[in-house]
Structure 1
Amino acid sequence: MASSSGIPGGTPDNGQPPAGGKVPAGRPDSGLSYVPVGWLVIVMALSVYWLASALWLVGSSGLPDAVFYFLFSGLVADVITILWGLYLLGLAFGRSARFPSHFTIWQAATIIWLLASHAYALAVPGFVFSARSLAITAAEIAIGLLCIYLLRRGSGAETVYAKPRAEAPSVFVSIVAALLGIILGAVVGAVGGFLAGSLIADVTDVSCFEGACGYFAAFIGLAGLVVGAIAGGILAVWLANRRKRRPAG
């Protein structure tokens, strides 16, 4: 006799995992459902890097309005990507059943933004895109579509992200923890990177002509800021969501 779900050993017809958050029986996951999480971290790291390297736009003048608004909108998009991504990481760390659908929405929005930004740049005079930048964008879109495919219904991802919706991490808690982790991680990473860069410059006898050694230390500090911010945000979200929650009654 078939189970109440209509599929022996499968999930209920409403798409929800069984009570208690146990992994449903059925098609096993191949491990590829973790690829979207890794891609999410990479995109967030790139957003932090571009955000840190483009802070000179704040208070700058002399740029054409079309260029300034384009670059500033990119910074806003980076901030949204980081905050949204940290929430998605909270869902992923909590093995929430909401992660696949929420990731798909985020990835679709990211692809739309990439296409819209390139269309704007091509329509406004003064912008020039190289073949390399177009190839990178095409690769980003291709990887994003692959991640959406890996999390599709029936792919086996439901055996990994199978906890009930009630066990999903709080958006407010995840964002607050992430912001604190980003700030603390960025400070620690920047200071540690700058000190490490200064030490490396001294040991390797980097020339200080026209401040070259200082630029080297600043570059290492910027790298430390990016790595520290991402690591701090991820660690904070993981710590905030590691405790078990009661499944829905």
Structure 2
Amino acid sequence: MSDHEYPESSLVEHLIELRARLVRAIIGLLVVLLLLLPFSRTIYTWLAEPLISQLPNGQTMIATNPAGAFFAPLKLTFFVAVFVAVPWLLYQLWSFVAPGLYAREKRLAVPLLVSSVLLFYLGCAFAYFLVLPAVFHFLTTFRPEVIAITPDANAYLDFVLAIFFAFGSSFELPVAMVILVLLGWVTPQQFKDSRGYAVVGIFIVAAVLTPPDVVSQLLLAIPMCVLYELGIHAARWLVPSSVVKPAG
């Protein structure tokens, strides 16, 4: 029996199921948030380490907004809770849509979903452990001596979150390439033949997404070039030759 051959459910039943999944997702997120709240100051201190380590001894951040010192750690804790709860949130989404998929669609969707989560985590880890220390070292080393760096807590948080999102989403490149091949819009060979254009495009994207310094641009562009090659090989491996013909 096909996965699609099941008794039709009414719209109301689907809405009830959707509501149940949303409630479970929100409850899971709230549980993670409540568990992390007691550590909000520690989490912010950990996030600030790449910059604080580059500042003169004894120098810390400031809060130009009186409430900034209070809300910045809370804001960060919420984003960390979402970050940690992503597998649970995606599981709820998957549980809702999976009954309507064919067996083959499920077999392809599961590795793509898992890979996308792992690649996003990898991109964020790469940004924290390699990119941020290199960027802040570059910025603090080449600043004029008459300029003192007194970073604002909220501005720093917004900057770091933007970096995490840029690197996390950029590391999704192989998954996006496989999806395009699965849809029949492109073939792995076309990706290979367009490598030169892709490299130029990657450097343009890196220049747009990163701060205006060559260090962060190179640290995003080079991994993306590697991931582009990985995407070509992943598409060849995961997608049967019978479905790699471009549409049209």
Is the TM value for this pair above 0.5? no
Question: TM-score if structure 2 supplies the norm length?
Answer: 0.29
- Give the number of the structure whose residues are more often helix, by fraction: 2
Question: TM-score if structure 1 supplies the norm length?
Answer: 0.29
